[in-house]
Amino acid sequence: MLISAVIRLACAIAIIAIAGCASQPLPHSTREPAGRATPTESVSAPLEKADRDLTAQELLNAASEYLTHAESAPPDQRADLRLKAAAALIRVGRIEPAARLLQSVDTSNLAPIYRARQQLSQARIELHRNRPSNALSLIDPWLNQPGLSPQLHAELRQSRARANLLSGRALEAIRDLITRERYLTAEQEKIRNLAQTWEVLGRLRQSEMLDARRSSGDATLSGWIDLAAIQLEHGHDPFRLQNEVEQWRAQYPGHSANQLLQHRAGTVSRAVPMRIRRIALLLPLASKYGRAAEAVHDGFMAMHRVDGDPEKPAVTVYDIGGEPGLAPVYYRLAAQEDAEMIVGPLGKLAVNELITSGIGSLSILLLGSVANSVPLPDNVYQFDLSPEHDARQTALRAYLDGHRTAAVLYPETDWGERVHHAFAQRWEQLGGMITESRAYIDGQTDYSSPIKELLNIVNSYGRKRELSRLLGHSLKFQPRRRRDIDFLFLVAKTAAARLLKPQINFFHAHDLPVYSTSHVYAGKPDPVNDADLNGILFGDMPWMLNSNSRIRQARRIIQGDWAYRHTPLDRLYALGMDAYAITRSLALLRDNPDMLVEGATANLRMNRNGQIIRQLNWAYFDGGRPIVRDIDISAQLWDLSQYGDTTHRPPFVTRSVGGRPSP
């Protein structure tokens, strides 16, 4: 299980899965000399920036400049520049122009490296088109080709790993990543590759691990599998996990995963988490929010139950009832009864009642958000599942996918307004533009009016009527939607989304990418009813998407047959699990912003304000089922605006090459 490995020195295991495995090509280790160009493997000069830092617009500008220089260049330089331009276009998702450009490049009389680069770019296009077998046929002939640079070998292996993963061959993908490691020189790139290897290992079932371990003659692969098996078997129990990891380190002292563990753990590897004797859990069990509070309680206590630490804290539960104003009373009662940490209360109202009343020196993990204007002392931490958080991450996800102009469709409710505002604020901070926003009345069945207004279909019909009047006869007419938006942010819960998406398709926007939050997913695959959601991309918890063997193991061991599993309440159960997992490491997380916990709700870090920041997984509906986007294997998204840097614009990351083209 993933959740609580951070509690002890063995936090290194939980930390490794989220090292930022960027999906884009690697930066150059050398700069091209002036004058005659030499073949390189990814976008470089004319822009004097690291490849990873190029934005979408800069990549497009680079492609244009490469093509301009190519017009007057000799044949080998012309091919080199055109290949660079094609690589840049692929990076920004301009697949068809890139494909046409690659076809125009004649490499038959040039050195093999030019042909290798051309076929690598063609393979990446095949991955965008969800044709992994075609990609493999383009990549495999070059794996043992002499004369290729280490950089190009590394990129070939990375694309081959993706192709194997798309083909359902996770173990082959792991072997590709292990081989790729030999070609990397930059420390950060090695860490990314190691973290990606760990992430793909999470796709293996326990039986697959055992079969691979028995048949493997590769000590590096065996070490990885043994480490993954330890995490799978003991990840739910940090006390036992620590002992098992220490034994693994003794058995594999020179294994490359140790480098990753040391890098991710950093200065906290020698730190000791807080020792807490008693935790007070404050929840509104006897209230209209009782079922939600019960879900948090059950997840929290389930983690406490499986914690094998003989010195684990005792937990006292306080039912604060349905009056948020009583939260300070129960806080003081818990302090009088020797609690050393408070977890709760749950919800924004109770949290703000407690904060404004004044609190003492006890460490407290609030299960709700505090108004930004309220300063918090160092002993106060925040952890919640606010829809605003999901909206901000959706804005970042769309930005990193290369979109710049958005339309927003949201319900005319307090919840809808909050989500819309959070998305709009973050989107504009990133530099995006909202071309149009429209509210709809929740609970209806016909949403044609706001959709037509949003897509400017109304004006299209108006132009038709006016033209018919002028000509004096009826016209054959095909209405057209507006073309000045890159994507639609759909704010909706499951029932409304099932009605809205087909109507969006009907009004000629079936090809418009649609992004949403976790609220569109009811929590359990429902292919019949969710077929209408096909194409929607949304962010959700690993716990809900259930695509990882460690999550499935945790559900079996920790949750069992809990009554509300695979319902929206399951998200609150996961919140309770993660709240318990991090209680003894809150100070460590605050002091070490790079420290990471691989949780059930998401991968977790803490910002300088004591807020737990969640990094969601991304999935899209296909055949009525949520399919995890493979970009999450290789591109880690942390919203730096929540670290106090509201002006930061994140580097561009290529669109997904997994599952299907980015919705």
Distance CA 212, CA 202 (A): 14
pLDDT band at 141 (very low <50, low <70, confident <90, very high): very high
Q: Which domain holds residue 177?
A: 36-185
Average pLDDT in the 112-134 region? 93
Q: Looking at the structure, tell me whether residues 59 and 175 fall in a common domain.
A: yes
pLDDT band at 629 (very low <50, low <70, confident <90, very high): confident
Give the DSSP per-residue string, 230-245: HHHHHTT-HHHHHHHH
pLDDT band at 121 (very low <50, low <70, confident <90, very high): very high
The radius of gyration of the chain's CA atoms, rounded to the nearest angstrom, is: 26
Preceding omega of 345 cis (within 30 degrees of 0) = yes
Which pair of structure tokens corresponds to residue 644? 């106090």
**Does residue 604 sit within a domain?**
no
The confidence score (pLDDT) of residue 367 equals 96
pLDDT band at 607 (very low <50, low <70, confident <90, very high): confident
The confidence score (pLDDT) of residue 534 equals 96
Average pLDDT in the 58-68 region? 86
The string of pLDDT tens digits covering residues 212-246 is 888 878 899 999 999 888 888 877 777 777 788 88
Q: Looking at the structure, tell me whether residues 285 and 150 fall in a common domain.
A: no
The confidence score (pLDDT) of residue 393 equals 92
> 627 forms bridges with which residues in the sheet?
620
The confidence score (pLDDT) of residue 52 equals 46
The string of pLDDT tens digits covering residues 587-604 is 888 887 777 788 899 888
3-class DSSP state for residue 574?
helix
Between 644 and 622, name the one with better pLDDT: 622
Between 388 and 649, name the one with better pLDDT: 388
Between 639 and 521, name the one with better pLDDT: 521
pLDDT band at 133 (very low <50, low <70, confident <90, very high): very high
CATH number at residue 175: 1.25.40.10
Res 366 pLDDT > 90? yes
The confidence score (pLDDT) of residue 473 equals 53
Q: Which of these, 101, 108, 99, lies nearest to 131 by C-alpha position?
A: 99
The string of pLDDT tens digits covering residues 290-324 is 999 999 999 999 999 998 888 899 999 999 999 99
Task: Give the Cβ contact number of residue 36 at 10 Å.
Answer: 11
Between 270 and 570, name the one with better pLDDT: 570
pLDDT band at 24 (very low <50, low <70, confident <90, very high): very low
Distance CA 440, CA 385 (A): 24
Please identify, among 128, 162, 185, the residue that sits at the C-terminal boundary of a domain.
185
Distance CA 242, CA 232 (A): 13
The string of pLDDT tens digits covering residues 422-446 is 999 999 988 889 999 999 999 999 9
For the chain, give the number of residues. 663
**Does residue 13 sit within a domain?**
no
The confidence score (pLDDT) of residue 264 equals 52
The confidence score (pLDDT) of residue 502 equals 96
**Does residue 451 sit within a domain?**
no
Please identify, among 138, 157, 185, the residue that sits at the C-terminal boundary of a domain.
185
Q: Looking at the structure, tell me whether residues 42 and 175 fall in a common domain.
A: yes
Distance CA 579, CA 304 (A): 11
3-class DSSP state for residue 27?
coil
Distance CA 573, CA 577 (A): 6
**Does residue 628 sit within a domain?**
no
Instruction: Identify the residue whose tokens are 């009016």.
Output: 449
Q: Looking at the structure, tell me whether residues 52 and 181 fall in a common domain.
A: yes
Res 4 pLDDT > 50? no
Between 151 and 360, name the one with better pLDDT: 151
The string of pLDDT tens digits covering residues 381-398 is 999 999 999 999 999 888
User: Alpha helix (H) ranges present in 431-485?
Assistant: 448-455, 457-471
Please, what is the Cα angle at 303 between 325 and 606, to 5 degrees? Answer: 65
% of the chain residues with pLDDT over 70 = 80
Please identify, among 355, 382, 409, the residue that sits at the C-terminal boundary of a domain.
382
**Does residue 40 sit within a domain?**
yes
Q: How many domains does the chain have?
A: 2
Distance CA 281, CA 365 (A): 10
Q: Looking at the structure, tell me whether residues 288 and 166 fall in a common domain.
A: no
- Which element (helix H / strand E) includes 408? strand 405-411
The confidence score (pLDDT) of residue 372 equals 67
Distance CA 230, CA 546 (A): 19
The confidence score (pLDDT) of residue 18 equals 25
The string of pLDDT tens digits covering residues 507-558 is 888 889 999 999 999 999 999 999 999 999 999 999 999 877 888 888 988 9
Average pLDDT in the 78-92 region? 90
Distance CA 522, CA 506 (A): 24
Res 46 pLDDT > 80? no
Average pLDDT in the 136-165 region? 93
Give the DSSP per-residue string, 243-270: HHHHHHHHH-TT-HHHHHHHHHHGGGGG
The confidence score (pLDDT) of residue 160 equals 95
Res 634 pLDDT > 80? no
Find the largest Cα–Cα distance for the chain.
Answer: 88
Task: Give the Cβ contact number of residue 64 at 10 Å.
Answer: 12
Q: Looking at the structure, tell me whether residues 179 and 41 fall in a common domain.
A: yes
3-class DSSP state for residue 282?
strand
Q: Looking at the structure, tell me whether residues 174 and 291 fall in a common domain.
A: no
pTM: 0.76
Q: Looking at the structure, tell me whether residues 168 and 295 fall in a common domain.
A: no
pLDDT band at 479 (very low <50, low <70, confident <90, very high): low
**Does residue 215 sit within a domain?**
no
**Does residue 410 sit within a domain?**
no
Q: Which of these, 362, 359, 380, lies nearest to 370 by C-alpha position?
A: 380
Task: Tell me what the pLDDT averaged over the chain comes to.
Answer: 81
CATH number at residue 363: 3.40.50.2300
- Does residue 551 come out as left (phi exceeding 0), alpha (psi in the -120 to 50 range) or beta? alpha
**Does residue 162 sit within a domain?**
yes
